[in-house]
Amino acid sequence: MDKRVEKNKHSLHDRYTAMTHDLHWETTYQPMDKVFPHDKYEGIKVHDWDKWQDPFRLTSDAYWKYQGEKEKRLYAVVDAFAQNNGQLGVSDGRYVNLLKLFIQAITPNEYYAHRSFAQVGRSLRGDALRIATQMKSADELRHFQNQTHAISNFNKYFNGMHHAPQWFDHAWYLSVSKSFAEDALSAGPFERLIGLSFGFDDLLTRPLFVSLMSAVAHNGDLSAVSVGFTAQSDSSRHMTMGQEAVKFLLQQDAANLPIIQRWIDKWFWRSYRLMTFAAMMQDYMVPKRMMSWKEGWDMFVQKPGEALFAELAQLGLRKPKGWDQACEGKDHISHQAWNAYYGFGHTLAFHTWVPEVAELDWLSQKYPDSFDRWYRPRLEHYAQLHAAGQRFNNQSVPMQCQTCQFPLIFTEQGSGRWTAYRETQHAGEAFHFCSDHCEEIFSNEPEKYSQAHLASHQILQGHCYNAGVQENTAGFDRQAAVLDFCQIVQGHDNGDFTNSEDALNFENWGAGQDPQEAQL
Ligand code: ZN
C-alpha cells in the first residue's frame, strides 16, 4: 500500500539551523588548528560557536533570491536613466564631481570589503558566522558592481572617472581610503569583523547611505540613489551583524573585552576620518542642499550612537575614545577638507570651486558656531583671487598623517585655529599624525604603520614618475610628471570647475544639444 508522503514543514528557526549550524564538520585527517590557523592569534576566545545567531536567519537560497529580485529592479532604473540621458537632468554640472569622488574613494573600498569578508569567512571556524560573512562578502562585491555600472553612464560624458582604479592606487588624496581598506585587509579576522561591521558599518555609514543618498535624489540622480537604497537594505543587515558580533564575542569570554574595546576605539576613529569625504560631499559637492553634515551627524551618528553605547555599557563597553572629539568635529571637518582640496585642486581628478554666495549663506546658517568665524572669510578670499585671475593653487606637497593619511588639515579639539600635529619616534625615525587617536593607533602597532606607503613621501623620493622620466633635467615639471604617472589628465580632470570642459559641456547640453554630438 502506498504511504502518503508527509511534507516535513520546518519553522524558520529550524530551517535556519539546519542550513547553517548543521553544515559544519570537524576535520579528521588534518587538525582543526591547521585548517583554521588565523582565528586564535588575536587573543579572542570563543567557547561555543553555536551561540552565534544571525538575527536575520538568512539561508543561502533565500539570500540569492532576494538579491536577484533587487538586482532586477535596480537595473531597470539604471538602464532607464541612461536611455533617457538622465545625466542632463541633474541639478548642476558640479554635482557630477560628487560621483567622481565616490567612484574614486568609496567604490574601490567596497571591493576591498568584499575581499576582507571572504577571508573572514574562510578564517573563522564557526559555520553560521562563516555563512553570514560570505553573504556580506557577496553584498560588497554587488555594491562595487552596482556603483560602477550606475556611474559608468556619467563616465561617457564627464572627465574624472576614466581611471578610478589606478587613481585609487596612486593618487595622493585617495591613499586615505586605500590605507583604510588595506589596514582592514591585513588585520586578523576578528578585528576585520569588528572594525568593518561595527566600527564602520554600524556606527558611521548611515550619513553615507541615508542623508547623502537623499541629497543625491534631490539633485536628480535617480541612478545613483537607486544604488544607494539597494545597498542600504544590505547595510542594515551588516550593521546588525556588527552589533551581534560585538555582543557574541563579549559574552563568550571576559578576556575579549579589552581587545574588542581597542578595536572599536581604532576603527571608529579610522572610519570617522574616512567619512571626511562624505562630510565634504554633503556640504560642498551637492549643489541643491537638503541637510548639512552636522545635522546628519546629529541624527544618524551621535543620537543612535549614544543610545547604543548606553546599552552596550551593560557588557562593559564604553564609547570609542575619539567619540567626543568626532562629535565636536561636526562643525569643522567638511570646511577644513574642502579648503584643503580646493587648494590642491590642480592635483586631483575632480573639480573644486568656491561656493556661490547663496551657498555660503546656507553654510553660515547651518554652522553658526564655526563657518563665519573660520571658514567663510577664507572662501571669500579665494573667490576674490579667482576673480582677479589668480586662483589659489597650493604648491606644497602635503604632510600626511602616518595612520589615516590625511594631510594635517584638522584643528585641535575645541579650536578652529590651531592645526593638530603630533609626533612620535619609532626605531630612530620621526612619524607625524593628525590627532592623538591616529598617534595611538600607530603606537599600538608601530611595525604595521611605520611601513605605510605615504604618497607625499613617495613623490618626494621620486617614485611617482613613469619609466624613463628623469628628475633634475632642464624643464622638468614634477607635478606634471606625477599627474602623468597617475593618469590624471591635466586641465581636463582637475582644476577649477569654472571654465572646465565639464562645465562648458554641461551648459551646452542644457541648451538642447545632443550630448553625443557636443564636442569642444
Ligand atoms: Zn590621522
Query: For 323-353, how does the pLDDT look when each residue is reduced to its tens digit (9 = 90+)?
Result: 999 999 999 999 999 999 999 999 999 999 9
Q: What is the full DSSP assignment across 344-371?
A: TGGGSSS-B-PPPHHHHHHHHHH-TTTI
Which candidate, 138, 123, 94, 240, places its Cα nearest to that of 192?
123
Ligand 1 center from residue 445 Cα (angstroms): 14
Q: Output the CA 471–ligand 1 centroid distance in Å.
A: 31
Statement: residue 413 has pLDDT above 60: yes
Compute the distance from residue 5 Cα to the ligand 1 centre, in Å.
Answer: 65
Q: Do 266 and 323 touch, CB atoms closer than 8 A?
A: no
Checking if the pLDDT of 511 tops 60, the result is no
The residue count for the chain: 520
Calculate how far, in angstroms, residue 212's C-alpha sits from the geometric centre of ligand 1.
24
- Region 115-142: mean pLDDT is 93
Tens of pLDDT, residues 295-323: 999 999 999 999 999 999 999 999 999 99
- Give residue 6's pLDDT: 67
Q: Coil, strand, or helix at residue 18?
A: helix
CB 183 within 8 A of CB 109: no
CA of 443 to the centre of ligand 1 (A): 13
Gap from CA of 412 to ligand 1 centroid (Å): 12
What is the four-CA torsion angle of 365, 371, 377, 380, rounded to 10 degrees? -50
User: Residue 375 to residues 148, 291, 343, 489, 492: CA-CA distances in angstroms?
Assistant: 34, 19, 14, 30, 28
C-alpha cell of 2?
A: 502506498
Domain for residue 49, yes or no?
no
Q: Per residue in 419-455, pLDDT tens?
A: 999 999 999 999 999 999 999 999 999 999 999 999 9
| Integer Cα distance of 110 and 140 in angstroms | 5
Q: Is 411 part of any domain?
A: yes
Q: Tell me, in angstroms, the distance from the centre of ligand 1 to residue 394's CA.
A: 21
pLDDT tens digits along 213-262 = 899 999 999 999 999 888 888 888 888 899 999 999 999 999 999 999 99
pLDDT at 177: 97
Residue 1 lies in a domain: no
pLDDT band at 519; cut points 50, 70, 90? very low
What is the overall mean pLDDT for the chain?
A: 93
**How far is ligand 1, taken at its centre, from the CA of residue 74, in Å?**
37
Q: Measure 421 CA to ligand 1 centroid, in angstroms.
A: 9
State in Å: Cα 189 to ligand 1 middle: 23
Residue 492 Cα to ligand 1 middle (Å): 30
Burial of 213 (0-12, 13-18, 19+ CB in 10 A): buried
Task: State how far the Cα of 82 lies from the Cα of 226, in Å rounded to an integer.
Answer: 13
Q: How far is the CA of 147 from the centre of ligand 1 (A)?
A: 28
Ligand 1 midpoint to CA 176 (Å): 9
Give residues with Cβ within 8 angstroms of 277, minimum separation 6. 101, 105, 106, 176, 177, 337
The confidence band for 285, taking pLDDT boundaries of 50, 70 and 90, is very high
Task: Flag whether 424 is in a domain.
Answer: yes
Output the nine-digit C-alpha cell for 433: 599624525
Mean pLDDT of 348-364: 98
Domains held by the chain: number: 1
| Ligand 1 centroid to residue 181 C-alpha, Å | 15
What is the C-alpha to C-alpha distance for residues 438 and 446, in angstroms, rounded to an integer? 11
Please write the tens of the pLDDT for every residue from 208-222: 888 888 999 999 999
245 Cα–ligand 1 center, Å: 27
As a whole number of angstroms, the longest Cα–Cα distance in the chain is 99
Q: What sign for the dihedral angle of Cα 241, 243, 249, 251?
A: negative
Distance 506 CA to ligand 1 centre (A): 37
Distance from the alpha carbon of residue 407 to the mean position of ligand 1, in angstroms: 8
Q: Is the pLDDT of residue 8 over 70?
A: no
Res 287: pLDDT: 93
Query: Pseudo-torsion of CA 195, 199, 201, 207, nearest 10°?
Result: -150
Residue 513 confidence (pLDDT): 55
Please check the confidence at residue 514 and state whether its pLDDT lies above 60: no
Q: Is residue 192 part of a domain?
A: yes
Angle value at C-alpha 324, between 319 and 329, nearest 5 degrees: 135
| 153 has a pLDDT exceeding 70 | yes
CA of 202 to the centre of ligand 1 (A): 21
User: Region 56-70: what's the mean pLDDT?
Assistant: 89
Distance 484 CA to ligand 1 centre (A): 28
- Specify whether the CB–CB gap between 429 and 452 falls below 8 A: no
Percent with pLDDT over 70 in the chain: 97
Q: How far is the CA of 78 from the centre of ligand 1 (A)?
A: 37
Whether 520 shows a pLDDT value over 50: the answer reads no
| Centre of ligand 1 from the C-alpha of residue 435, in Å | 6
DSSP characters for 245-309? HHHHHHHH-TTHHHHHHHHHHHHHHHHHHHTHHHHHIIIII-SS--S-HHHHHIIIIIHHHHHHH
Cell of 449: 604603520
Residue whose cell numbers read 567612484: 103
Average pLDDT over residues 30-51: 94
Q: How far is the CA of 416 from the centre of ligand 1 (A)?
A: 17
Separation of CA 277 and ligand 1 centre (Å): 14
- Give residue 54 CA to ligand 1 midpoint distance, Å: 34
Beta-sheet pairing, 422-426 with 429-433: antiparallel
Q: Which residue has the higher pLDDT, 201 or 434?
A: 434
Angle 441-302-179 (CA atoms, 0-180°, nearest 5)? 30
453 CA to centre of ligand 1 in angstroms: 14
Closest by Cα among 114, 166, 225 to 349: 166
Interval between CA 82 and ligand 1 midpoint (Å):
39
User: Does residue 261 lie in a domain region?
Assistant: yes
* C-alpha 95 – ligand 1 centre gap (Å): 28
Angle at 360 (CA atoms; ends 354, 364), nearest 5 degrees: 145
CATH number of residue 473's parent domain: 1.10.620.20
- CA–centroid distance, 268 to ligand 1, in Å, is 12
CA neighbours closer than 13 Å in the CB half-sphere of residue 188: 16
Range of the domain at 245: 64-519
- Whether residue 3 lies inside any domain: the answer is no
C-alpha to C-alpha distance for 503 and 365, rounded to whole angstroms: 28
Contact predicate 424/442, CB 8 Å: yes
- Spacing, Cα 348 to ligand 1 middle (Å): 20
Whether residue 400 contacts residue 456, with contact meaning beta carbons closer than 8 Å, is answered with yes
* Rounded distance from Cα 423 to ligand 1 centre (Å): 11
User: Whose grid coordinates read 584643528?
Assistant: 411
| Rounded distance from Cα 438 to ligand 1 centre (Å) | 5
* 371-412: pLDDT as tens digits: 999 999 999 999 999 999 999 999 999 999 999 999 999 999
Cα(448) to centroid(ligand 1), Å? 15
The rounded distance, in Å, linking the Cα atoms of 239 and 201 is 5
Residue 23 covered by a domain: no
How remote is the CA of residue 326 from the centroid of ligand 1, in Å?
Answer: 12
